């Protein structure tokens, strides 16, 4: 998580230099981001897609369910259409690549505050291509429910069913039921398949 912290603190320092912008909070994981957005009610949330406990796409969904007026800008090292599509479908107003964020973030924030969408130039072509030649969506964001994705991510990050039950305020049998549903829906033959899938699809930042 050190790289996430370095990027987060660097961007926060950049924003603090702007007289019309103020950083009201920072979060190291998706669940904290949802809580802080609910408490602090920021105008804009810059959301890293690869976060522990709750990925950035599902965190974005939850933030916008609480407060649809928030403008979310996705931040990622990935220019993969699955992540871009997932963030935009979750309701994000922007999507930046991390390596160019320091040059683009201020412009992106000001654009989304004026109700305009901002996409890094490298991403715009992927979005246009996706809309002109849509393919069947087999991503976890299309196939699995939010709760199933939450359980899948936490399992992939090494949490036990009991720890997941406590974190999500669910019964142990309910968590086991979600695990079975995910295995059946996605056709996993083993727990290792489940973990590899979660990593490949960006549901977790855990390294294989």
List, for residues 85-113, the tens digit of each pLDDT value: 888 888 998 899 888 888 889 999 998 99
Stronger pLDDT, 60 or 192, i.e. the higher one: 60
Choose among 10, 112, 141: nearest CA to 150. 141
Long-range contacts of range 168-175, CB-CB < 8 Å, 24 or more positions apart? Answer: 175/151
153 and 113 in a single domain? The answer is no
Choose among 74, 71, 148: nearest CA to 114. 71
* Tokens describing residue 17: 């230099």
54 and 111 in a single domain? The answer is yes
User: Is residue 76 over pLDDT 90?
Assistant: no
Residue 205 lies in a domain: no
The string of pLDDT tens digits covering residues 21-55 is 999 999 999 999 999 999 999 999 999 998 889 99
Which residue range is the domain that position 68 belongs to?
2-132
123 and 35 in a single domain? The answer is yes
Stronger pLDDT, 199 or 53, i.e. the higher one: 53
Indicate which CATH number applies to the domain containing 182: 1.10.10.10
pLDDT of res. 132: 42
**DSSP string across 56-123:** HHHHHHHHHHH-TT-EEEEEES---HHHHHHHHHHT-SEEEEGGGHHHHHHHHHHHHHTT--EE-HHH
73 and 164 in a single domain? The answer is no
User: Is residue 208 over pLDDT 60?
Assistant: no
Domain tally for the chain?
Answer: 2
The string of pLDDT tens digits covering residues 126-170 is 665 554 444 445 567 778 888 888 888 888 888 888 999 999 999
pLDDT of res. 130: 55
Residue 208 lies in a domain: no
pLDDT band, very low/low/confident/very high, at 203 (cuts 50, 70, 90): confident
23 and 117 in a single domain? The answer is yes
Place of tokens 């549901």: 203
The strand pairing partners of 95, in sequence order, are 74, 119
100 and 74 in a single domain? The answer is yes
pLDDT of res. 128: 57
Stronger pLDDT, 203 or 38, i.e. the higher one: 38
Torsion sign across C-alpha atoms 75, 69, 33, 195:
negative
What pTM, to 2 d.p., does this model score?
A: 0.69
* Tokens describing residue 192: 């290792």
């Amino acid at each position: 998580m050190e790289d996430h912290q370095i990027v987060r603190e660097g961007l926060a320092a950049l924003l603090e230099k702007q007289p019309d912008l103020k950083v009201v909070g920072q979060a190291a994981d998706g669940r904290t981001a949802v809580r802080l957005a609910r408490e602090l009610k920021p105008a804009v949330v810059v959301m890293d897609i690869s976060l522990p406990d709750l990925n950035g796409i599902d965190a974005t969904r939850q933030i916008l369910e609480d407060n649809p007026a928030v403008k979310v800008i996705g931040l990622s090292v990935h220019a993969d259409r699955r992540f871009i599509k997932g963030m935009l479908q979750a309701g994000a107003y922007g999507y930046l690549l991390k390596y160019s964020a320091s040059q683009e973030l201020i412009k992106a924030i000001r654009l989304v505050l004026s109700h305009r969408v901002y996409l890094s130039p490298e991403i715009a072509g992927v979005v246009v291509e996706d809309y002109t030649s849509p393919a069947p969506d087999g991503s976890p964001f299309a196939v699995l429910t939010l709760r199933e994705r939450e359980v899948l991510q936490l399992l992939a990050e090494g949490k036990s069913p009991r720890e997941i039950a406590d974190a999500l305020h669910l019964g142990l049998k309910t968590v086991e039921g979600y695990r079975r549903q995910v295995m059946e829906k996605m056709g996993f033959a083993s727990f290792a398949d489940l973990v590899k899938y979660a990593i490949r699809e960006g549901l977790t930042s855990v390294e294989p």
